[in-house]
A and B are shown apart, each in its own frame.
Chain A
Amino acid sequence: MGENPTDSASVKMTATVSSDDAGSSRRDFLAQGARITAGVGVAALLGNLGNWALSYAADKEPIKIGILHSLSGTMAISEVSLRDTVLMAVEEINAKGGVLGRQIKPVIVDPASNWDLFAEKAKQLLLQDKVAVVFGCWTSVSRKSVLPVFEKNNGLLFYPVQYEGEECSRNVFYTGAAVNQQAVPAVEYLMSKEGGGFKKFYLLGTDYVYPRTTNKILRAMLLAKKVPEASIMEEYTPFHHQDYQTIVGKIKKFSAGGGAAVISTINGDSNVPFYKEFANQGLRAEDAPIIAFSVAEDELRGMDTSALAGHLAAWNYYQSVETPQNKQFVANFKAYCKKNNLPDGDKRVTDDPIEAAYFGVHIWKQAVEKAGSIDVDKVRKAVYGQKFLAPGGEIMMDPGNQHTHKPVLIGEILKNGQFKIVSRSKGLVKPEPWSEYTSPDKGCDWITHQGTYSKKG
């Protein structure tokens, strides 16, 4: 009974559909027409009654939202924190009276780091639990796997992790960074005088869609900036790769004479052996800094950071960002983890995806309030241009391309697993789902166009 408005709409629908089957003779037509009119009237009345009943019950009926993060399997290490964050944001909103006077009720499912299960669980959330919105996914593979489910059923997904771009779905809001908000400015920083004026780049990544696409864009960008082909190396390792001897040896040779930087899109558990080998073979951050796009505070707290200190990372938020709302946010998060007896309690840290997951919930709440409804299409339109004072500073949802305007921060890894911010962008960077380097003629807009469009046309 929760979805009464849609019920009454479907009654009307069937009524109009049956009118198309009107009989052949005129009298039949008239008689049937009268019956149909009466039917429609009754249906509308029932619908209104339903609506009225619903609005009466609204104070009690909570809004269901879905949380689609792996709680077991390889990705649990990262995704569990996002579930906690979303739950914390929900608790905050509920404590202040919920949305549209209704409480939010989270429905948590565990896709267990299994890409097929992601699609199945998404279907369950949308069709069986009929949630108003889903917060979830981490890896690009999982996002690609649920994408058709959300598009087919017109669901709404808030995706909180930086990704490779080249996507422009009407049903996804990307609160993480696009490539031009992380990887591209990071390399621009390394090339700048302030960043060290590096001239040679070793692109190293795990072998899957995110590193491959990111490096494709970075290579195009470096070539466009007149870096010679010989000064760019590109290499991939399989998932869970442990033996980095040869690769570090290659980096050593490549960086001899200085001026070289490593751009790492290595993901997950391969990072530790890589950084360890790098340090053990006598390479220092001064010889060749590694700038990483997948190493954040939450991953660092499980690592021995002695080998990582001095290397760089690029994100849109760090726990060390000094804003009053961030201090509050970090304290709240630690308190929340402690209160709920989550593992490691108040030793937990916040990082970029955690912040993105957090403000995603608030953006959705604001949009629902603006739209006055939880209807996906209405909420979606209300999200465009929505602003929120996130822990890292005010962010803005793009007025058309489903992504988020965010600041870009380059940080240096410290021994305690935190980051020292060494460079920050001037203001917010506009997201470009289609990179100007690899797809200069493509754009993404759901207001003036239907999603991805050709700029030439």
Chain B
Amino acid sequence: MHAKKIQDEAMMHSDSLIERARSGDRIAQGKLVQLWYKRIYNYCYKFFLDHDLAMEASQKTFISMCRNIEALQDVMRFKSWLYKIAVNCCREEARRTKGARAVSLDQVINLDSEESPHWEKTVRKQEDPEKQFQQQELSDMLQQCLMELSNEQREVVIMKEFEGLKFREIAEALNLSENTVKSRMYYGLDALKRILEKRNITKETISYEL
């Protein structure tokens, strides 16, 4: 928790780092990648619900960032600029894989079977394994709800709800007006509400689950 706070602080005050990266400092660029990789990966993961595609899109995002950061005009707009790249990479990746019919191994292999690589993944140890399992299940279910949204709505919802961007920043990243972003957000939340209702996820069920 504390470490996360420190990282958030670092991201908030990374102006000088961005300045150095902009002037071609490879070390600063590397540090920026370290600082932002988790956020961009999680954006991509929520967009695809697929680790490999998310990794691919994240890496492309950061390669593009390192190549083009010298052209970044305003340091203050770095965040929206980075998400803009991420959005474009995700869209490109989605287009590319649309006809490829590639399926993640996670979906092919039965996760519960003993030979599944899922068991080998290192999972954070918690005091209550049952609670942890329930939490994981709920998280997965909610992720799948997200996947039912349209791409446009999903982009806005992820950026606002999970990445904490301001509406202005989302508008910059998506090249849209702020009002369009807000109304997409509204319809996105409304759609999610209906999806949750359809899956019978309510206040009560959630509190029962946890």
Instruction: State whether these chains interact.
Output: no
Q: Which residues of B contact A (CB under 8 A)?
A: none
Q: Which residues of A contact B (CB under 8 A)?
A: none
